[in-house]
Amino acid sequence: MRNKLKIGCHLSASDGYLAMGKEAVAMNADTFAFFTRNPRGGAAKEIKQADVDAFLAFAAENGISQLVAHSPYTLNPCSSNEHTRQFALDTMKDDLLRMEYTPGNMYNFHPGSHTGQGVEVGIEEIAFLLNTVITEEQTTTVLLETMAGKGSEVGGRFEEIAEIIARVEKKEKLGVCLDTCHIWDAGYDIVGNLDGVVNEFDKVIGLGKLRAIHLNDSKNPIGARKDRHETIGNGYIGFEALSRVINHPALCDLPFILETPNDFDGYKREIEMLRAAYNKK
Ligand code: FE
Ligand code: FE
Ligand code: ZN
């Protein structure tokens, strides 16, 4: 049963786009995420136009859309090290060119860690990177991911995300990806007061900026600032609360991406569970 819930998981890009599309359909998903290159950074695999064309046709036939690509998680746009910042900038520039092979999708990244420079400097550097890499021509929306706030991570508070957005010129190419494990770990009580958290997001950032959800349970209690994902229903957030997330009127039409520690069968099971819990007809 494939209902209106837009859901998928993080897939390996090593066999190309068509392979990911087929894997998504096999687990009853209609969207997915993937790393644009090796998650640890480094050179990206060449994109084959034939694979892209086959995928685009397959995706259109099978209702796959709203992909949420993920930048390598080792990039740090607000490191105190200038070379590290430049590497993040060069990599993202290249990733955004690669994203145009599959036009109109989303590219999510971690704002980064300020490594002792302070949040304000971090925010300036992240905005500088975005103002450098985002182009008028791109069809991709760049998403800032909400973070758990561990160490010197920027983006653990909605206010920090809002401050970055405020400094970016081409705001229409910019959005936010909300990670349920991360905001829970950052102290937002989506179990006891989901409405309150959604209202807070709206007040500080604006719900119009929210473009995707990373749907994860957490291995840790609220406010732990750890960022350790758990399978759906087996962590401190729990299945009931995550069901309320997918059914919330402000969230229910967004793409939901699972980043839970799972193999193919585990993802398939979670997608089935969540589709069954989805109320919108
Ligand atoms: Fe992430
Ligand atoms: Fe995430
Ligand atoms: Zn995470």
Cα of 148 from ligand 3 centre, angstroms: 7
Q: What is the pLDDT of residue 148?
A: 98
Residue type, 281: K
Q: Ligand 2 (ion): which residues have CB within 5 A?
A: 179, 214, 259
Q: What is the pLDDT of residue 38?
A: 83
Question: Rounded distance, CA 198 to CA 245, Å?
Answer: 10
The 3-state DSSP class for residue 15 equals coil
Q: pTM for this structure?
A: 0.97
Would you say residue 71 lies in a domain? yes
| Domain interval for residue 194 | 7-277
Would you say residue 88 lies in a domain? yes
Split at pLDDT 50, 70, 90, the class of 40 is confident
Short-list 114, 133, 134, 138, CA closest to 124: 114
Read off the pLDDT of each residue in 211-231 and give the average, rounded to a whole number.
98
Cα of 242 from ligand 2 centre, angstroms: 15
Contacts of 147 (CB under 8 A, 6+ apart): 110, 111, 153, 154, 155, 156, 179, 182, 186, 227
Split at pLDDT 50, 70, 90, the class of 1 is low
pLDDT at 249 over 70: yes
Sign of the Cα torsion 107, 113, 114, 118 reads positive
Cα of 145 from ligand 1 centre, angstroms: 6
Cα of 232 from ligand 2 centre, angstroms: 14
Q: What is the pLDDT of residue 42?
A: 73
Would you say residue 2 lies in a domain? no
Would you say residue 120 lies in a domain? yes
Classify burial at 275, counting beta carbons within 10 Å of its beta carbon; exposed 0-12, middle 13-18, buried 19 or more: middle
Which of 40-44, 50-54, 237-241 has the lowest average pLDDT? 40-44
Classify burial at 136, counting beta carbons within 10 Å of its beta carbon; exposed 0-12, middle 13-18, buried 19 or more: exposed
Would you say residue 140 lies in a domain? yes
Would you say residue 1 lies in a domain? no
Which of 34-43, 129-138, 193-202 has the lowest average pLDDT? 34-43
Cα of 181 from ligand 3 centre, angstroms: 7
Q: What is the pLDDT of residue 226?
A: 97
- CATH number for the domain that contains residue 78: 3.20.20.150
Would you say residue 43 lies in a domain? yes
Contact 79, 112 (CB under 8 A): yes
Contacts of 172 (CB under 8 A, 6+ apart): none
pLDDT at 39 over 90: no
* Ligand minimally distant from the alpha carbon of residue 185: 3
Cα of 13 from ligand 3 centre, angstroms: 19
- Please tell me the total count of domains within the chain: 1
* 68-89 pLDDT tens trace: 999 998 999 999 999 999 999 9
Would you say residue 174 lies in a domain? yes
Which of 36-50, 89-103, 147-161 has the lowest average pLDDT? 36-50
Report the first-to-last Cα separation within the chain, whole angstroms: 12
Cα of 146 from ligand 2 centre, angstroms: 8
